[in-house]
Amino acid sequence: MPFHLRGTVLPDGTVRDLWTLGDRITLRRPSVPADTVADGGFLMPGLVDVHTHPGSAAGDETAFDPEVFADQIAAHREAGVTALRFPGLLGEIPDELREAPGSPRMITAGRWLAWAGLSRGAAFHTVTDDLVAAAVAETKAHDGWCKIMGDWDLEAPPVPYELLRAVVDGVHAAGGRVAAHCQSAAGVLGAARAGVDSIEHGMGMPQECVALMAGHGTTYVPTLTPFARRAPLVDTGSARGRLWHEGRRTMIRRVREAYDAGVTVLAGTDSAPHGNVAAEVMHLVEAGLPPAAAVGAAGWTARAFLGLPLLTEGALADITVYDTDPREEPAVLRHPRRVMLRGRIIR
């Protein structure tokens, strides 16, 4: 049986009727009866988390656990997240889970690729002597993305600019896009100069990066939530701790500056707890994004970035419904009245 929804459709703000036929939306009343599952409220395309790494149990970042992955994906889904980008996964997603009726849309970037000259890293990084070839291979093997460790921490030397520029050129020639992890000023500057497609984190971002990102069309995914969670635990009495806190403060300032310069800023949560993209939206608001832009960072703007449609004829039947306008009250994202995924009612 088709489902019927009526409400204010975002982001355009018009009151419309939508119907679902299977896993698609239609704006034309079907010839068969439909069950009305939402009458009033605000209808959004499903939420998006553009930076999350599900699949590893707490305390174990070296092994991919399909059961843990499924549980963490379920947490995203229950929160109204219907699309996910994984800039780095420990393993391959089982086909039956990726295409399951209750699974959000999944966009992967393959493994975390690390330059062989990276002096410090993590066990889950894939170190390679040929970063360009590895990046192109990951792009082709997954969903048109690769993930490069532009650096790892605040003090380790980053990937040399010439090498990162070669990665970007090679991946773009193959029709793909590059996400770059950056946590040092030098790492962020190199990534911004090289024209990567998205800068992830961007701690300590130099001011000049804002114009570089705007000029290259680079998207900024600051992942403020895990940094806010960690901040009380970082010792301000040490030089390294003070550097970390200054880097975080700089990152927060750059969010609004980037937005004002025309850079696309998006919402990603990075780590556990999963299904927490509403918290990232609130952190973006606190950083100075207008509420509507912050909601769009996990909604319509993020979907455009990933090539996913809005609530239009023939679009994917991934819909969230809220009692109040999230553009004015972003906190309502924590409490969806209705979540539909692939045309099925989740809640």
* Residue-level pLDDT at 122: 86
Measured CA to CA, the distance from residue 136 to residue 174 in angstroms comes to 7
Cβ distance 6 to 18 under 8 Å? yes
Query: Any idea what the CATH number is for the domain that residue 25 is in?
Result: 2.30.40.10
Query: Do residues 176 and 273 both lie within one domain?
Result: yes
* Residue-level pLDDT at 74: 94
* Residue-level pLDDT at 91: 84
Cis peptide before 11 (omega within 30 of 0): yes
Query: Do residues 10 and 71 both lie within one domain?
Result: no
Indicate the number of domains in the chain. 2
* Residue-level pLDDT at 121: 81
Query: Do residues 173 and 130 both lie within one domain?
Result: yes
Query: Do residues 239 and 278 both lie within one domain?
Result: yes
3-state secondary structure of 303: helix
Q: Which residues of the chain have pLDDT under 50?
A: none
Query: Do residues 319 and 289 both lie within one domain?
Result: no
Query: Do residues 78 and 135 both lie within one domain?
Result: yes
Query: Do residues 120 and 229 both lie within one domain?
Result: yes
Residue ranges making up the domain that contains 21: 3-45+309-345
Query: Do residues 69 and 150 both lie within one domain?
Result: yes
Query: Do residues 35 and 173 both lie within one domain?
Result: no
Query: Do residues 111 and 256 both lie within one domain?
Result: yes
* Residue-level pLDDT at 157: 86
120: number of CA atoms within 13 Å, CB side? Answer: 7
pTM of the model: 0.96
Q: What does the DSSP assignment read for 56-68?
A: --TT--S---HHH
Query: Do residues 190 and 321 both lie within one domain?
Result: no
Neighbours of 2 (CB within 10 A): 17
Cβ distance 77 to 104 under 8 Å? yes
pLDDT in tens, 76-94: 999 999 999 999 998 888 8
